[in-house]
Amino acid sequence: MASLPPSVPATHAAIAITALGKPVEQVTVPTIPPSAGEVLVRVTHTSSTPVDLHRVAGGLRVPPEDGGKAFILGITVGGTVVAVGPGTATGLRVGDRVFGFVQDGSDREAAFQEYATVPAWKLGRVPDRVDMHAAVAVPANLVTAVHTVVADLGLPLPWPVPGAEVAAAAADDDDKEEEVVLVWGAASSVGMYVLQVLRHWGYRHVLAVAAGKHHETLRGLGARACFDYREGDAAGAVAAYLDRVVRRSSSSRPGRPRLPYVVDCIGSREGSLRPLTRIAEKGTRVAVMLPVINVHAGKDRAAELEMDVNKALPGEWKDGVELRGVRTFLYHKNEFLRDHLQPEIVPALLEQGVIEPNKQRVVEGKTLLERAQKALDLLRDQAVSGEKLVWRVAD
């Protein structure tokens, strides 16, 4: 283990859960020198996600008894490398601007702290043309999008992406034009990246469900047709589209469902899953962002969450529908994604302009705690739509 550089303090500030059901607090924690395979990052920026709210308001994956130990929050790191562990075989160097999706709750790598000690495979270099506010809007949700498509939908995303001629031949072989994918909650941070990932890899028949004000943007990101859940019966409109457009081409693919793939980016029992029970059919694979939200958190109401997607509306799904709960924290079990997704693929997609970062809302505040709490309040009040909450950690 390396020692800390002279310029790095032995302790630093962090935002943590210290007791379930209580507001988050600012605590002081030790700065951990990097071991082999790790780098120490001075965290300057982060982004808040629904996971943070689920932790604070619902106790999601927070140990109920931990001897009073603080549970540090944050899953997106953005900052500068200040030390590299001894013998670390990585291209990262001191002074590099880096960003990455990390494991919150870890003393070493959680993002809501001034210094994070992170495995190098969880980080990539921020492209020169990208500012840090935009950078931290990307990794958690883009990793989730890629993992969902590969692990839960089972669709191939070869890397490097084949050239135009090879891709055209593969499209003919795989019939990608007929691989209908429905993205419910397409204007969410994950949903926008799912659209862009599918577009880049040649999937052209992608349907989007989102508020109407986002439809123009979603078409620009690759959606062929859009449906407004706020106006009328979105599930009925999708079913009518499938009857009108997809049924004509399904005769050449006997036994295949008209709607083979669904990504539910909301994971709400009533808001998204119940409508989906009406249109998912035998053979449809439904990937649901976990946890399933049975009751959303309110100012005076704890969230009610469920991690087993098969317990969501049992008996209401048609026989043969396959429900898959998305668990992005396990993406590293795919060795190729572990070794290439964050160090190589995510920075390349951003550098090449393939991925457009989510629109950012910068959360201001005089202190680290104030910024963190404001972001949590915005998530709890469901005041975020089509944008990502980003904020400074260290000044």
Q: Which tens digits make up the pLDDT trace of 94-150?
A: 999 999 999 767 889 999 999 999 999 999 999 999 999 999 999 999 999 999 999
Q: What is the mean pLDDT of the chain?
A: 91
Work out the pLDDT band at 175, boundaries 50, 70, 90. Answer: low
CATH 1.10.3720.10 assigned to domain 11-137+358-392? The reply is: no
pLDDT (average), residues 186-203: 96
With CA atoms as reference, report the closest residue to 47 among 92, 98, 107, 111.
111
Tokens of 23: 């507001």
Domain positions in the chain are 11-137+358-392, 141-330
Predicted confidence at residue 308, as pLDDT, reads 95
Residue 66 has pLDDT above 60, yes or no: no
Flag the least confident range among 262-266, 299-303, 358-362. 299-303
Q: What share of the chain is helix, strand, coil (3-state, %, to 5)?
A: 35, 25, 45
| Rounded percentage of the chain residues whose pLDDT exceeds 70 | 91
Predicted confidence at residue 176, as pLDDT, reads 66
Predicted confidence at residue 368, as pLDDT, reads 97
Q: What is the CATH number of domain 141-330?
A: 3.40.50.720
Residue 177 has pLDDT above 70, yes or no: no
Residue 167 has pLDDT above 70, yes or no: no
pLDDT (average), residues 231-245: 94
Predicted confidence at residue 299, as pLDDT, reads 72
Predicted confidence at residue 258, as pLDDT, reads 94
Residue 170 has pLDDT above 70, yes or no: no
Which residue did the predictor score with more confidence, 301 or 310?
310
Predicted confidence at residue 257, as pLDDT, reads 93
**Do residues 334 and 150 make contact, with C-beta atoms less than 8 angstroms apart?**
yes
Predicted confidence at residue 104, as pLDDT, reads 67
Give the CA distances from residue 64 to residues 54, 102, 270, 280, in Å, rounded to whole numbers and listed in that order.
14, 22, 28, 37
Tokens of 224: 């062929």
Indicate the pTM of the whole model: 0.92
Work out the pLDDT band at 259, boundaries 50, 70, 90. Answer: very high
Q: d(Cα 312, Cα 314) in Å, to the nearest integer?
A: 6
